[in-house]
Chains A and B, each alone.
Chain A
Amino acid sequence: MRQIFYLVQKEFRQIFRDFSMVRILFVVPLIQIFILGNAITTDVKNIKIVFQDQDKTPYSREFINRFVHSKYFKITGFEEDYTRLSSYLDSGKASLAIVIPRHFQRDIVLQKKPDIQLLVDGVDGNSAGVSLGYITDIVQQYQERLIEYSPDLSLQVKNIRRVETEPRFWFNPNLESKLYIVPGIIALILLIITLFLTSMGIVREKEIGTLEQLMVTPIRSYQLVIGKIIPFSILGMLEIMISMGFVYLIFGIGVKGSLLLLLFESSIFIISTLGLGIFISTISDTQQQALFVAWFFMIFAILLSGFFIPIANMPPVIQHITRLNPLRYYIVILREIYLKGTTFKDLIPETLAMVTFSTCLFFAAVMRFRKKLG
């Protein structure tokens, strides 16, 4: 027991020996949360749009007005020359062009179904799809208004209503991607800090020869492992609190659920990153190698976590692989606690999965570590 105390004390002395570690602990989360939180957005706003109004009637103007008042669109101009419309899309001055045909108003009044032409820049398929959705909405509202004010239609017809949905989005009513992304970033920071510190910390001792020196002392390898884990988990927990602080200061996003539960779940997650770090240290001889291997694992953990790419969109085989990824569960848990205030009862499946994989990974790594040390 006392040996472990001395190991932990030594580790903390080394970590805080120079200022660089403190800088890493504070600056990494600050930059990541600030930049990624603002940059990673799936919101589609300010879609640049160019109009060609060949009709120039009250009806067409009313139609255009609906775009003017929408926060999703930004009108960049009106073009008279049809042949020049495509140049707007080519140069990126607009990503959307709408052509209102001549006799738009007349056709509507005569109930002759006018056709509107849409030209969409489809390079970014996702944004194109989203903007199309917005346009459909606007057209539908316009149509409803036409029906309502049509003098020729009987009251009976006017009162016919199609089935309509009126969605209310819970937990994130404005569908801000920030709210969704930011808890994920906290998970990433925790992953990066604990994984890199552990693997590099152990390999460094291998490199300078102190690990060999420790192995000729009566110290047992499990004590050595514990002596490494304790300081790094404390740092991890510290890091998560620093990150949550920044998230609150920068975005005003606070934890809806129990802070204690969040820390508890985080500690389970940390077991897996420490385990992976120990494993990496057993297959690397130099810090560069450890860095490279840690990077390799990190990329997979992040890409297969559902942070950027929704897991439901992945091929079934890959979806099954993501089940082995503790980060996948941890991100879900963080989002749930952060945004919904979900209680432990509803997080049991994720927690169990995380406990299982974390402990398996951890013990496999420790076994390998002990075997390697002989």
Chain B
Amino acid sequence: METDKAVSVSKLSRHFGKFIAVDEISFEVNRGEIFGFLGANGAGKTTAIKMLCGLLKPTSGEATVAGFSINSETAKIKKNIGYMSQKFSLYDDLTVKENIEFYGGIYGLSREKISGKTDQLISELNLDKMKNSLTKSLPLGWKQRLALSTSLLHDPSIIFLDEPTGGVDPISRRNFWRIIYEIAGSGKTVFVTTHYMDEAEYCNRISIMHKGKIIELGTPTGLKQKYNKTTMQDIFIHIVGRN
């Protein structure tokens, strides 16, 4: 099923007992777009992203990711997406090279492809001197870039980033976003959650989640005009405060 929508969500909900984490959200993400998912802590961002990645079953509603249903085709979705969470997801006690080799192997890449990708990544990330060091010895910013690169090993069409820059210094964050732009430039869709409002400016479109619902969706410029504010921060405080 080919469509120009990378992600298409319709009335998606997730309840945990009586608590409604995600409340009938609907939206679409275009191919090649950088789509920002904003919201305060506990707004339901992570729950929503987990459902889209096939980590969590929805209570009700439907969504397609890369053209596959999250209710019935999670195995196919997993082959076509990359995922990087706020938790650091590499093995600290493996070397840089071993981590790349491992995730390459898990994604079913051939041996030649793995060694090719490993060399490529290591030179791209300037990790040549560190390739045989344990991953735990890397600075956090580098670790995150490495984690991002390993989640792209299998060349997915959509990449989900769940607060990828949490706890990273501003310069590393900027470098990180440079990479995100490169990824989007190569035709991949980037779906990113964040609560840094400056990062929201970098997105093509953003949605703001509050108490499980999407309360606003549009381009950063469009939202600024609509609310007559100059920064995303002001808009966020205005909208969330109002609700």
Chain A residues near B (Cβ < 8 Å): 2-3, 5-7, 9-10, 13-14, 17-18, 208-210, 212-220, 374
Contacts and interface: CB of A to CB of B under 8 A. Distances in A.
A215 B107 CA distance: 11
B93 A217 contact: no
A309 to B, nearest CB: 41
A49 to B, nearest CB: 60
B106 A208 contact: no
Contacts of A215: 54-55
Given A17-B93, A374-B55, A216 B78 contact: yes
Nearest to B147: A213
Interface stretch (B35-43, B82-90, B174-182, B218-226): B82-90
28 contacts: A2-B105, A3-B108, A6-B102, A6-B106, A10-B94, A10-B98, A14-B91, A14-B93, A17-B93, A17-B134, A208-B87, A208-B88, A208-B89, A208-B92, A209-B87, A209-B89, A210-B89, A213-B83, A213-B85, A215-B55, A216-B78, A216-B83, A217-B103, A218-B78, A218-B79, A218-B106, A220-B75, A374-B56
Interface residues of B, number: 29
Contacts of A213: 83, 85, 89
Nearest to B102: A10
A208 B75 CA distance: 24
A2 B108 contact: yes
B53 interface: yes
A209 B50 CA distance: 13
A310 to B, nearest CB: 45
Contacts of A212: 55, 85, 87, 89
* Chain B contact residues, majority secondary structure: loop
Given A3-B106, A5-B105, A17-B93, A216 B88 contact: no
A224 to B, nearest CB: 10
B145 interface: no
A210 B78 contact: no
B104 to A, nearest CB: 8
Contacts of B92: 208
Contacts of A216: 53-55, 78, 81, 83, 160
Nearest to B94: A13
A6 B100 CA distance: 11
A3 B83 contact: no
Interface in B93-117: 93-94, 98, 101-103, 105-108
Contacts of B78: 216-218
A372 to B, nearest CB: 12
A2 B89 CA distance: 21
Contacts of A220: 75
Given A209-B87, A213-B89, 11 more contacts: A208-B87, A209-B88, A210-B89, A210-B91, A214-B106, A216-B78, A216-B81, A216-B83, A218-B79, A218-B108, A220-B75
Contacts of B54: 215-216
Contacts of A210: 89-91
B131 interface: no
B211 interface: no
Nearest to A220: B75
Interface string B45-61: 00000000111110000
Interface string B159-177: 0100000000000000000
A325 to B, nearest CB: 35
A7 B90 CA distance: 14
A10 B101 CA distance: 9
Nearest to B76: A218
A218 B90 CA distance: 17
B94 to A, nearest CB: 6
B136 to A, nearest CB: 11
Nearest to B134: A17
A9 B94 CA distance: 11
A5 B110 CA distance: 13
A219 B106 contact: yes
A21 B87 CA distance: 26
Contacts of B105: 2-3, 5-6, 9
A153 B204 CA distance: 119
Nearest to B150: A213
Contacts of A6: 101-102, 105-106
A374 B81 CA distance: 18
A270 to B, nearest CB: 25
A3 B154 CA distance: 14
A216 to B, nearest CB: 4
A374 to B, nearest CB: 6
A10 B75 CA distance: 23
A10 B91 CA distance: 9
Contacts of A13: 94, 98
A12 to B, nearest CB: 11
